[in-house]
Every structure is written in C-alpha cells, then in structure tokens.
Amino acid sequence: MHSVTPLLPGDLNQSCDPGSLPFKTTDELEDLGCMLGQERAVEAIELGTGHDLQGFNLFVLGPAGTGRHSFIRQFLQEKASKESVSTDWCYVNNFDEPRKPKAIELPAGRGRRFRDDMTQLVKEASSALPTAFESEDYHNRRQEIEQQANQAQEKAFQEVKEQAEELDLGIIQTATGFTFVPLHDGVAITPEEYNKLSEKEQERLQQDIADHAEIILQASSGEEEGANSIIADPDEIDPQSAILRRYSVNLLVDRNDSDGAPVIFEDHPAYPFLVGQIEHESQYGNLVTDFTLIRPGALHRANGGYLVIDVRKILIEPLAWEALKRALKSREIDTKSIAQAYSLIGTVSLEPEPIPLDVKVVLIGDREYYYLLMEYDPEFLEHFKVAADFEDDMERSDENMLQLARLVASIVRKEELKPLDNSAVARVIEESSRNAGDAQMLSTRMRRIADIVREAHYWATRNDNSVIGTDEVRSAIRMQQRRMSRIRDRLLRETLRNTILIDSEGEMPGQVNGLATIQLGNFIFGHPVRITANSSLGAGKVIDIEREVELGGPIHSKGVLILSSFLASRYVTDRPLSLSASLVFEQSYGPIEGDSASAAELCALLSSLAQAPIKQSIAITGSVNQHGQIQPIGGANQKIEGFYDLCKARGLTGGQGVIIPASNVKHLMLKQSVVDAVANGQFNIYAVSSIDECMTILTGLEAGERNHKGEFPEQSLNQRVVMRLKEFADRQKKSSG
C-alpha cells in the first residue's frame, strides 16, 4: 500500500491573482446589466411572464440572498412599463338591491372623473332643486294645475254619484280614496273586504334623482326623516351625507397616475389585504356599512399586471392561500369577509359584484415550500406551472469572475461607496468561492458579497483611504466572523480548560477525534468531537448509542449500520460475525445527524478490535461506504479550521493534522493562517480514498492488502482485526456447544 503524503499549500486555497483582472479599480467597470449566473431562472421568468394562458403563474425558488426579489422587481417593472395601463374599477350603489353594489370598469383615469362628476352632480341638485321649487313660475303653474284637477275631480265625482244611486250604491271616502258600498233605504251597510289590486311598477329615472327630489329638498332644508329613508343605514344622522353616499362613487382602483401595467409587492398577504375587505362604522352601538366602505386588496391593485408575494407569508396567514387559489381559478375577485365567506356568522352584510381578474402572480420562496406544496396540495401545479429555480453557485471562470467584479461595481455606484482596487476584488472572489464551499465555483448569494463591500467601505473611511483595498476587505470578513463567533470561542475555551475532553497529543485505542459543524444563521464553524468504541463477544451487532437514546438522526444511523456490513463482508466471510460493539459521541448532548463521522466511527471500531492505538493529534472527517471507500462530506474548510484552532491554541508541533476525503480537495478554500502553517511544516492535511489509508495514518501501522489467497499480511492491522473477530466467533461457537 502506498503511503499518503500531506497536501501541498497550493492545494489548500485557490487564490485569485489581482493581475489577472483587467482593471485597476471598479470605477473602470460598467454596471452589470443582467442576473449573475441565473440564466436558467431568467429563461423561466421570461416564459412565465410572457404566457397569457391560465395557470402559467410563477414560483421563484432558491436560497435567500441570491437577489431574487431585486431581480424580479427590476424585471417586472421594466416589462410592465412597456405594457398598456390597466383600467379603473368603481363600486356604485345598487338602487334595486343596496346589499349588492355594482362594479363599473372604466378606462384609466376616468374613474376619478366619474367620481368627481357624481359628487358635483349631487351638489348641484341640492342647490338647484330648492331654487326651482321656490320660483314664482313654479308656484303659479302648480296653483293652476291644482285648480284644474279639483274641478275635474268634482265633476267626475258628481257623475259617478248619480249613476251609483240609480243602482242602490253609495260612495264613501276612505284614507286611501273612494269606495262603493251597498245602500239599504239609503243607508250604507258593512262591506266585505276586497282584494287589493297590485301597484304598477313606477318607471325608474337615471340615478333616480327625480324620484327623490323631495328627499333632496328635505336634506337641503335640514329635515332628517326623508333623507334617512333612502339609505341602508337607519342611524345616519347627517341628511346631506346620506344623499352624497347614495349617489357617490367608491373609486376602488385609480390608475390616473399610472404608467404601464401595475406591479404590486404585497408584504402582508392576509386574507382581507389580498381580496379586499368591507369596513364598518360604529353608530349608536351598532356596526353599519354600505358600498362606500368597500376597500381594495392586492388583487384589485395588481389587476391587469403582476402580483408578487412571499410564499411563506401567505401560507402562515389563515385562509389566504385558499383565497388566492379560488381567485385564480374563478378569474374574479369576490370581496367578502372571512366570517361571511365561510358562514361563520349569520349577520347581513354586503355582497359586492365580483370583479373580473387578469393578473400574473409570482410567488417567491425557498425550495422546501415549492416541493411541499407540490406534494401536499393537488391544486398547486394547476395554478403555478412555471418554476424559476435560482442557482446556489456558478462556475469560477474568467468570465464569471469579471461579471462578479461588475456586480461589485454596480453596488458601489448605486450606494455611492468607495471603489475597490483589483486586489480587493480578488479577495472578494476568493471569499465567494469559500461561501460556495468549492474552490472551482462562485457563490450566487450576492447579499453576503454586498455586505462585505459595505463594511469594507466603513473600514476604508475609518482608515482615511479613498479606495478599498485588500486590508479593508479582510477586516470586513474578520469582523463579521467575530461578531458571530461567541459560541465557537466558548467551545474552544472550554476545550482548552479540559471541560470538554479533546486530546491533541498522545495515543489511545478505540478513541478518535471526529469533526463536526454547527450552523448559527449564516455562520458555520467546525469543532472536534471525541468518538469512542468498545468491542466484545456478542451477536454481531454494532450499537449506536446516539440512536438508542433517540439523539441520532436517520442518516447518522444509516452510516453506523453500514459498519456491521463492512466488518462481516471484509473480515469474517467464513463464519458469523460474533461481535458486540458500541459507538458514542462523548459529551454530546444534542441531536446528531449526517454520515460525515462514519469514517471516524469505523476507525475507532477497528482500533478497538486490533488494539491499535490512534494518534490523538490527528482528526478525521469523511463518510464510508460498505466497501471501505471514503466519500466526500460538507463543511470541509470549517472542520479543518476548527481542529487547527485548537492545535494552534495549545501549540503547533508539526505532527498535528486532519484527514479528509480525497474528493474534497477541490472544495478547499482555507484561511491563510492554515495555509501558512502547512507551508511551514507545522500542520498537515491528508487526503485519503480508503479506510485502510485512514488507519495507516492514524495508527502508524500498515493496514495491509489481501494476497492471492485472500489473506492479509502477518502483523498488519487488518490481520489483527481478522484474528480478533475469529477469536470471538470461536468463543461464541464453543459457548453455544
């Protein structure tokens, strides 16, 4: 077996040469006019917004900080500015059924004119009618008509009376007019009750002002009774207000000042703010309403354009998600209160006429929401057929590095920050690769980059520099980490005080330093953990103590179960695995998940079986499969740095180091202090491909490879494991008879 040599300093960090960047400062660069590294998502957005068929709404998914919101805002505003302005919508009184106000659609800007004209009409009627009824011509004409009517009535009455008496009928006057009754000896008898005739429906004039001229006169003169009779609210005490409300226009959506189609970002998509609401007024202890109290929602304001909603916010609002789907399916906005829509109360309320809906909805959220909705809501894909999936990273090519530099220039110019020189941009590029967790990639989470540039501007101002350099960028990165590193520093402090037991020197069988990561918000750090294994005669089971006490997650448990399969298939194929072993993370008091410690657990188990001490100066991370191959893991940079920080605090000896999977080398973007320590021979990083290479480094013993007979070399570590397992099997066979 070939020996594993430590990695070279050049393998640990893919630096960016400032000289390779074709500019001296970002002032020389143009603004970035496109979305960085998101070609696939942009294509989906163009499809979704360019398709008019029902259901082709957008779901923009991806991690936060990639610029989803800002790009959607810019894209939609540019697109909407080239589209026609949407229409105005008004609600007016329904004179036949006041509970059901009528919706009126008008060209953009006409709604405001319509409202103002109706207000002016009522004002003019209120002043013109009293003047007309007080004029001399009106009184003369009225007196003439009354005289003519009285004369005609008297003449007709006499003629009818004479004819009735010939038929022994009499005429009597009642409160409602005249009626005939039988006569007996000239005396009227009690009449039977007659069926009443139905009244003829009166013709209705436009906006029914003529029919209510008398009421308008009463309102103008201050009389209350008549005015109150024409509105739904019997407690209204202002006659003039009553008239104005009856003939007013509720301008729900006003596009008078609009330029292009509307683009609405609804930050609070609660049910009433989404579909609109009907407000109430308190009068004499009662809640009353009318059509003037209908308020628009986000769907009203976005009608004819685009509505953007954060999916998490709408999902946590009661019944809002169902209301949105219902509106998209029916293609109309039906404004009702939650209680009215779901028959929670029986009180009478308004039922406004629904408004036709033509809107493109864009939901923005994490991938988890998209896949959960796809799985559990069968109507989801009916309404959101286009997914725009934003990338987490992009290739670290020369072109993309220049694009990133242009993005930095855009931020600098937009926020009026100090320019960055090429060395500072090179450091930003390196940090972007570190954020991506891959030396060959760049992170697309631009929020982190923007924050670094902003903070570097602060340090440049403090240092009285006109240009941001490498020192300012490093200060920004270092101080960001310092502000979030209280827990990390406390763990290190308690380890140095031996409250947390981690050895970084000496040897011990069945004990190894594994590496774990902790994530607190956007801050991830690594720290060493002690993993121990015990082995004895048993029934072939490897006990995961973390799983037994329900602290181990399913992926971690899977990694431990693989160990039993590996032992049985590699070492004792001709007899049963008669082993009882236990594995545990020492001083771990919280959940453990992931399989990145399975290689360390197997090393501890093999060390216990072979009674081969493990060097405590070397930590290990990696996943192992059933064939003993080491598989890549996440957080390699943070895990290495976590153990390095402990070793540095105790004093670097040159024998300390970390074992990582060989497939993780391309991900390394270690901080400069680790690279310098490796270059000076004070720290070592090993890249391995098999568990045998791990055991050789950790124990100093050759693991040994099988010969043509399938046997391991004498005194090799693997041979020790075989002999121990055979001993267990023989003892098990003997004890069972």
The residue annotated as part of the active site, out of 410, 639, 671, 716, is: 639
The three-point CA angle 353-355-356 to 5° equals: 135
Q: Which distant-in-sequence residues (6+ apart) come within 8 Å of 201 by Cβ? A: none
Q: Are strands 360-365 and 58-61 parallel, antiparallel or unpaired?
A: parallel
Q: Give the Cα separation of 451 and 319 in Å (integer).
A: 37
Q: Are 314 and 320 in contact (CB under 8 A)?
A: yes
Q: Is 596 a catalytic residue?
A: yes
Sequential DSSP letters for 323-385? HHHHHHHHTEE----HHHHTT--------PPPEE---EEEEEE-HHHHHHHHHH-TTHHHHB-
Q: Residues, the chain, total?
A: 737
**C-alpha to C-alpha distances, 330 to 325, 327, 356, 374, nearest whole angstrom:** 9, 5, 9, 21
Helix (H), strand (E) at residue 486: helix 486-496
Sequential DSSP letters for 233-260? -TT---HHHHHHHHT-EEEEE--TT--S
Q: Give the Cα separation of 28 and 467 in Å (integer).
A: 13
3-class secondary-structure state, position 666? helix
The residue annotated as part of the active site, out of 248, 582, 596, 716, is: 596
3-class secondary-structure state, position 477? helix
Q: Is 349 a catalytic residue?
A: no
* CA nearest to 71, candidates 31, 30, 115, 33: 33
- Other CB atoms within 10 A of residue 304 CB: 23
3-class secondary-structure state, position 90? strand
3-class secondary-structure state, position 181? strand
Q: Are 271 and 320 in contact (CB under 8 A)?
A: yes
* CA nearest to 358, candidates 53, 67, 575: 53
Sequential DSSP letters for 512-547? EEEEEEEEETTEEEEEEEEEEEEEEESSSEEEEHHH
**C-alpha to C-alpha distances, 275 to 94, 202, 302, 355, nearest whole angstrom:** 21, 38, 11, 10
Q: Give the Cα separation of 313 and 270 in Å (integer).
A: 8
What is the set of active-site residues? 596, 639
